[in-house]
Amino acid sequence: MAPPMKIVFGLLTFVTVGMIIGALFQLAFIRGLEDSYGDDFPTTKLHRRQSDGYLKLPRGMSHWHGDKEAEILRLGFVKPEIISWSPRIIVLHNFLSNEECDYLRAIARPRLQVSTVVDVKTGKGIKSNVRTSSGMFLSPTEKKYPMIQAIEKRISVFSQIPAENGELIQVLRYEKDQFYRPHHDYFSDTFNLKRGGQRIATMLMYLSDDVEGGETYFPMAGTGDCSCGGKTVKGMSVKPIKGDAVLFWSMGLDGQSDPNSIHGGCEVLSGEKWSATKWMRQKPTF
């Protein structure tokens, strides 16, 4: 009689096994970061007070000094916090430096246009009252800029998804009263699946502070209440804090699209919410 583990793995598809292994590697990576830091994590308040410099390691992290890879990954700054397993969501505190946030806003501001959503029939972008922000995509040329390359590599390592599987980064601005209704990032049309396959995960990075409202809302996560645009609702929400990022998965470990990954951008009550989004696919996109 075959051992139980052989029976289990015999029933799993190749995609499922690959996603489980990837999830385990990612969890081991995050746990390794937590163990290596001990109690020396910089707090969010410290990050917001200081001028951390671009790709500089914090004090007290002498074992990484001089390590360029550690600087690119912001080891010693990035603090992972797993907030949900279903859907799978990780908040990465201090993921971007102040300089990286300001840089992305600066190159995006003169090129902002009214945001669109994907038409499920044609796969093309169309204007909709579901999404009321403005935004732009970085160009393939801009992907080669040193600061963008550092961000792209960091996204790849923390998500454990190859950089070539990522779409171009999109920068968004939400002004007062603007929002994005709850939606899924995975595609329901066949047009968009032709280039890179289905979306696996999303890295959502916050580029501004002093925003009231504008939370990222996951109605199917958690079992309690949360704040969303000044209202108390069921589910879980993440407050936009400059430099933080939210990494969440649109596909479950069974290799299927996860309906619990539905999420939205809550209404901005005051200030401007700037963010940058990176979607990752099953296969290379370029």
The whole-number pLDDT of residue 191 equals 84
pTM: 0.81
CATH 3.40.50.720 fits 4-281, yes or no: no
SS3 helix, strand, coil % of the chain, rounded to 5? 30, 30, 40
Question: Taking the chain (286 residues) in consecutive chunks of 10 residues, what is each chunk's mean pLDDT?
Answer: 40 50 65 55 40 60 74 92 96 97 96 76 64 90 95 97 96 95 91 91 96 98 96 98 98 93 97 98 91
For residue 214, give both structure tokens.
């504008």
From the number of C-beta atoms within 10 Å of its C-beta (0-12, 13-18, 19+), residue 285 rates as middle
